[in-house]
Structure 1
Amino acid sequence: MSNDGVDNGRRRFLLWSTSAVGAVGAVGIAVPFVKSWSPSARAQAAGAPVEVDVSKLKPGQAIKTEWRGKPIFVIRRSAADVSNLEKIGSLLKDPESSNPAQQPTYVDKVKRSIKDDVMVVVGICTHLGCVPQQKEQVEPAIGGGFFCPCHGSKFDLAGRVLAGVPASDNLEVPPYTYLSDSVILIGVDKGAA
């Protein structure tokens, strides 16, 4: 086989131009595919930290907000409520909050909060995922807390589950930090802010 009359320059040009067009086509296909892996703006906003101003909360009042699609309860507790939390341990399934997955390490294990008077919990019952309702009195010895209307689970004002109810775990405490004395940032660990 003879290469007489073959233009090697033209052959190289065609090879390089075909390769360049193929590369541009591959990038054109790859870019939208890779972009589809990124979360949408709506998804990013759903996972974004949430600021809550607790300056106007009076004892017993609550603010309900949402973080990552979950209801979040922020409640101001009275001094009597906080004092009662340490007295009712025998009525609870997990009074010392022994499951580390249910609260950050920097919250008090009994009060389950950074500051004694403000509690932050995810408002989803640990039994089957219903949303518990805040009650002024869930049990005479307990006082205020949460009652889950779906199956009767009860939680104290620290989100700890009472003994003898279907829920087996305490309400989850999300990561949060204080930006000031009156503003909480939910979704950011205390050490990261």
Structure 2
Amino acid sequence: MSQDGVNKGRRTLLLGATAAVGAVGAGFVAVPFVKSWVPSERAKAAGAPAKVDISKIEPGAMLTAEWRGKPVYIARRTQEMLDNLPGLAERLKDPENTVKEQQPAYADNITRSRKPELIILLGVCTHLGCAPKYHAEVKPEPFDANWKGGWFCPCHGSRFDLSGRVFKGSPAAKNLEVPPYMFESDGVVVIGVDEEKA
């Protein structure tokens, strides 16, 4: 075998080995870089939809769930509660839901919901982010002598009716926000997803 043949073979082997080591090294460098594009488990959980069992909510009662780290209020309204909603328009700042980003199109109605008996709202006051308290009973309250039920924010006194619409005289300027949601079944609601965009 000639001297040139040995050198060419050796050169080919060395080039192949160097290329292989370089490819492996590039892989080690690329994996963390590509992984940085994928959202973390925490980030996925923060935006993940939340399934809530609503089958046991009694008429007039409310439960609190969580979605994206925020409280979500789900209340089952009675017929009396629904009947009181139209008579409140003159006392409200925005009875017609003019700030359209505060609710999905399917909740742009007097009940601000898909099903009239169920209201689903973010439990975050639109003034400074406190959690309003649920006062469902129709009775005089220290904060409103003509109270027809709804939410009262203890931090600064904002009041919201049973559709989450803000009363005049409240520091909050906007109605409570209605998150996107859909019904998986009669007893399960999924917060964060709706049929229109699913």
TM range (shorter): 0.7 to 0.9
Distance in 2 (CA, whole Å) between partners of 1:141 and 1:27 is 69
- Superposition deviation, residue 48 in structure 1: 2.3
| TM-score w.r.t. length of structure 2 | 0.85
Q: Displacement, 1:109?
A: 2.1
CA contact (8 A) 2:59 2:76 kept: yes
| 1:70-81 aligned within 5 A | 70-81=70-81
* Local SS of the residue matching 1:13: helix
Verify: 1:17 aligned to 2:17, yes or no.
yes
**Residues 12-68 of structure 1: CA deviation (Å, up to 9, x unaligned):** 433332232122111112212322332333432333222222222222211101011
Change (3 A) 1:142 1:109: farther
Match of 2:110, SS?
coil
Q: Is the 8 A contact 1:177 1:190 kept in 2?
A: yes
Distance in structure 2 (CA, Å) of the matches to 1:179 and 1:108: 21
Contact 1:93 1:162 in 2 (8 A): yes
Q: How far does the alpha carbon of each residue in 1:86-106 deviate from its partner, in whole angstroms, 9 at most, with x for none? A: 111111111111122111111
Report percent identity of matched pairs. Answer: 53
With 152-161 and 50-59 compared, the bigger mean Cα shift is at 50-59
Q: Secondary structure at the match of 1:74?
A: strand
Q: Does 1:33 align with 2:33?
A: yes
Match of 1:162 in 2: 167
Q: Which amino acid aligns with 1:17?
A: A
> Once the 2 structures are TM-superposed, how far is the Cα of residue 9 of structure 1 from its aligned partner?
4.2
- Normalised TM-score (structure 1): 0.87
The 2-side partners of 1:188 and 1:78 are apart by 26
Bigger shift: residues 173-182 or 30-39: 30-39
Hey, what does 1:64 align to over in structure 2? 64
Counterpart position of 2:93 = 93
- Corresponding residue pairs, total: 190
Unaligned runs of 5+ in 2: none
Instruction: Give 1:159's aligned amino acid.
Output: G
In 2, are the aligned partners of 1:124 and 1:132 still within 8 Å (CA)?
A: yes
Where 1:106 maps in the other structure, the secondary structure is helix
